[in-house]
Structure 1
Amino acid sequence: MFLVYSETGFVQNMMHEPVDDSYVDRVRSFGFNVTRVPDAWMADKTAADIWVEPATGEIALRPALQIHLSRTEIKADGKRLATITGLPRPCDVLIEGALQTIVDGRLDLVSDMPADYEIRIDQWPYLPWSATVSAR
């Protein structure tokens, strides 16, 4: 399999073998990053599952975020909080569609309004992560 990837390692295109070497050379001549991976290795994977390490050109599974959520339920009293730690530094977090940039790897969520708060993180090259914190 032939992969075209961005400078961040995002797989932009995949082509199954056979791919002629002259075609690969031509794609490279246009400034694209190109690598090959055995079709068998990709048999149970999609482009969303993998990334290419830009410094080495090695193909790997996208890592999971090592995030810890202290609790999924809090009192809606404006005091009790749920803490999320282990966030990439920096990263963007979506809370109910509102974007927040976290620079220190930690997010404290507190609410005085009863609701379910969906939290999403989609930080390349990590796999997306989401959780819901309920304030009651």
Structure 2
Amino acid sequence: MLDVFHNDEASLVGLNVIVSDGTGKPYMCPGKPLVAGYLDRLRENGDRIGFIPETVPMQEVFTSMWVPEDLELVAPRPVVEATVSATTIKADGTGKAVISGLPKPCTIRVDGKPVERKGGTLTLTADVPATYRIEVDQWPYMPWATEIVAT
């Protein structure tokens, strides 16, 4: 573990400190030198502290990375590894597309309307011809989307 809690700046050479909320979502990169006790106070409030090489652009940290555990290196956010059985279905109420491999649990948006899923699978049938947009934006996963066309 880095000795940032004793304000040993030498342990941070080449690293930036990233502060995240309790879910690992980064929200701040405090400047150096760090005030003694500052990170302890953040952690007492439920925040996580992560570290990232100074060469990693901050935009990348705040859009595609997270702090999986307190006092660890910041890591890329996981991707949704969903599979779609069909991107075109019949609009007759019997044709179906099965999307599996979704995060458990998660909120899926079907044409903007939220649908709660616990089991990692969504089955879509349609009575009306249309293009249905399916989106998953479930922290810490990277956003994922697909379209199913019912004809």
**Could you say which residue in structure 2 is the equivalent of 1:26?**
38
Q: Which of 83, 97, 101 is residue 68 of structure 1 equivalent to? A: 83
Where in structure 2 are there 5+ consecutive unaligned residues?
1-15
- SS of the aligned residue for 2:148 comes to strand
- Verify: 1:52 aligned to 2:64, yes or no: no
- Verify: 1:123 aligned to 2:150, yes or no: no
Kindly, what percent of the aligned residue pairs are identical?
30
More helix by proportion, 1 or 2? 2
> Which residues in structure 2 correspond to 1:1-136 (within 5 Å)?
1-15=16-30, 19-22=32-35, 25-30=37-42, 31=45, 32-42=47-57, 45-54=60-69, 57-136=72-151
Q: Which has the larger radius of gyration?
A: 2
Q: Residue type matched to 1:22 in 2?
A: V
Higher relative contact order structure (alpha carbons within 8 Å, sequence separation ≥ 6) = 1
RMSD of the TM alignment (CA)? 2.0
TM-score, structure 2 normalization: 0.79
TM-score, structure 1 normalization: 0.87
